Structure 1
């Protein structure tokens, strides 16, 4: 008997969740396309191939994967509240408990299904989502407003710390064309004394040879006795160990890396002395924190909706959507706080789970003991 009920609950859980997922994807896709059509038309003016059809094929499928994974725990939460409230209103839960099953036993299929979804979510977050983000982020800047698009694709000064003694500065670097002017590379000794300097009027990234091409360059080597050796030329190809995206990373770079790659990147940046890594650390911790929240929110939803209430399904959904808003808002707000270095990224990304877990445990135990 209980196995039949288990299958029934799992079917309800997955069926409602799948319906909510498909519904959200379609509604948000239609709204987003309508909103961004003018910006896509501006992109078409830059490159004829970047039309609406191109975006629907090469951008939005990967954008939807990112959207779904961002809101997965909230979809689970609302889905569980919806189908469990309906079961409670139909007195199905009362019938199960009256048959002699404990509330803990009734909750078992909720646990197993949430573990199943959380496990898949972990795998997708750590390995599949970065692949989707690579495809998405190639075009996402074209869907931004003019100010944000300029930050990603426009021209701006950039700098990079290659190691504790090596630095690159470029006065004007175009991120889309990967070319710039006013290039300076400096190397210091352990006493912070300049030992080598390379300047160039222009710099271009050769993506085929994976080298920087420096035009009208001048080299200066400073010896230990403070004498200088000078050299210059018109064309110099040089490698600095990384491509421009790695040397001058933006906040989207971490999204494009699988977790092993992201861990290596963070380690390398720390060794170089880069302390501005909180955006990437947020990405790293969120990949695990969000799937764990699926289990916590499943039991919170079960505890809130497993009793018949005055107001029925409507009051449960209103409460669920309100809590979902608080959960999502807290994640986004804590990202900003962490990037401003007010709290650590690990604490920021785990704090919503830390706050919601005691609430879910208390309400679950209270409901189980009734």
Structure 2
């Protein structure tokens, strides 16, 4: 590795680290000020959130905007090099533009690899910590949607179903419980009705109170049973029987893959939210490499207007890129596009653009 390689890598990582730190501090201050009243209204000290919530929230924030940070960093330091005629001097010394781009490739591969590992294994752990307290930063109406009581239902497999009239996900307790099992002809063969149900985390079973049990035999005769309390396991904990939109964020990729496969076996076709999360964990790190070369191509030549013009173009394109991910998530969740296509479409659009601009610049 030559002197120029080390120089550019230091520039890349130094600028990236500075922008990362600056963004984290600024956004943290703004977010704390905005959420402080809600945190205190819920009976928490702000110091508790600063220790137990915000460090993990920062990890989530950084990984969400990693591609923007990389893009702006490359635009910034490469534009300064171009304005200072450093790039002209390097190319004039006999190095090709491809050789000049080598340290950009090395650094982007390093950041992309680190992002890939964090997305698949570290970020889910951080999200577990973050999600435990995040609900207390919401408005009362949004908080009630998540930790309040509401009707839920789930399909355990193609023949077994659970319905609960009012279930509280935080307390893992509900009322108006019904479990129904059908045969291959969709005929009811077994049923449990209970006035109350709750999850026992020690025994990992559901406790059903004031239950009525009915078994329907092949000759259509019925066997009835009732009692004050019974315990039942339905094969999964309540978090997986009644998953929320945050569940996929809290699972490592092997755990998430197993969960999606189990849900498919159960007959659950509403998996796009979880599949979006799975595919985005890989597509976003790849975007780091794509956006690095797009930024290099846009900013490696001195332009009228200098750094300001390049930054304006870079920030606009970066936000379009990230916004497209969020928009395509909604499209995918509505089942208009497959999650795989939706989460890779921005890369599929920006990669040819980056390649065209790169080779155009290299041949100048």
Q: TM-score, normalised by structure 1?
A: 0.97
1:235 aligns with 2:229: yes
298-307 vs 139-148, which moves further = 139-148
> Could you say which residue in structure 1 is the equivalent of 2:4?
5
Listed as ranges, the matches of 1:323-338 within 5 Å are 323-338=317-332
> Could you say which residue in structure 1 is the equivalent of 2:18?
19
> Could you say which residue in structure 2 is the equivalent of 1:121?
115
> Could you say which residue in structure 1 is the equivalent of 2:148?
154
> Could you say which residue in structure 2 is the equivalent of 1:51?
45
Listed as ranges, the matches of 1:64-213 within 5 Å are 64-213=58-207
Does the CA-based 8 Å contact 1:222-1:228 persist in structure 2? yes
Listed as ranges, the matches of 1:277-292 within 5 Å are 277-292=271-286
297-306 vs 234-243, which moves further = 234-243
The CA deviation at 1:219 is: 0.1
Distance 1:115 1:74 in 2: 16
> Could you say which residue in structure 2 is the equivalent of 1:221?
215
What SS does structure 1 have at the residue aligned with 2:42? helix
Q: Deviations over 1:65-118 (max 9, x none)?
A: 000001011100000000000000000000000001000000000000000000
Q: Number of paired residues?
A: 364
Distance 1:148 1:295 in 2: 37
The CA deviation at 1:55 is: 0.8
What SS does structure 1 have at the residue aligned with 2:156? strand
Q: Deviations over 1:121-167 (max 9, x none)?
A: 00000011111011111111111122221121111000111110000
> Could you say which residue in structure 2 is the equivalent of 1:47?
none
> Could you say which residue in structure 2 is the equivalent of 1:306?
300
Q: Which runs of 5+ in 1 are unaligned?
A: 45-49
Q: Which runs of 4+ in 1 moved over 4 A?
A: none
What SS does structure 2 have at the residue aligned with 1:283? helix
Q: Deviations over 1:283-323 (max 9, x none)?
A: 00000000000000000000000000000000000000100
Distance 1:73 1:220 in 2: 57
What SS does structure 2 have at the residue aligned with 1:291? helix
Q: Deviations over 1:183-208 (max 9, x none)?
A: 00000111111000000001111122
What SS does structure 2 have at the residue aligned with 1:249? coil
What SS does structure 1 have at the residue aligned with 2:181? strand
Does the CA-based 8 Å contact 1:137-1:252 persist in structure 2? yes
Q: Which runs of 5+ in 2 are unaligned?
A: none
Distance 2:362 2:140 in 1: 54
Distance 2:166 2:290 in 1: 48
What SS does structure 2 have at the residue aligned with 1:163? coil
The CA deviation at 1:53 is: 1.0
Distance 1:358 1:264 in 2: 34
Q: CA RMSD in A?
A: 0.8
Distance 2:42 2:198 in 1: 23
Distance 1:359 1:147 in 2: 43
Distance 1:280 1:152 in 2: 17
The CA deviation at 1:42 is: 2.1
Distance 2:230 2:172 in 1: 17
Does the CA-based 8 Å contact 1:43-1:51 persist in structure 2? no
Distance 2:332 2:157 in 1: 25
What SS does structure 1 have at the residue aligned with 2:335? coil
Does the CA-based 8 Å contact 1:254-1:283 persist in structure 2? yes
The CA deviation at 1:14 is: 0.2
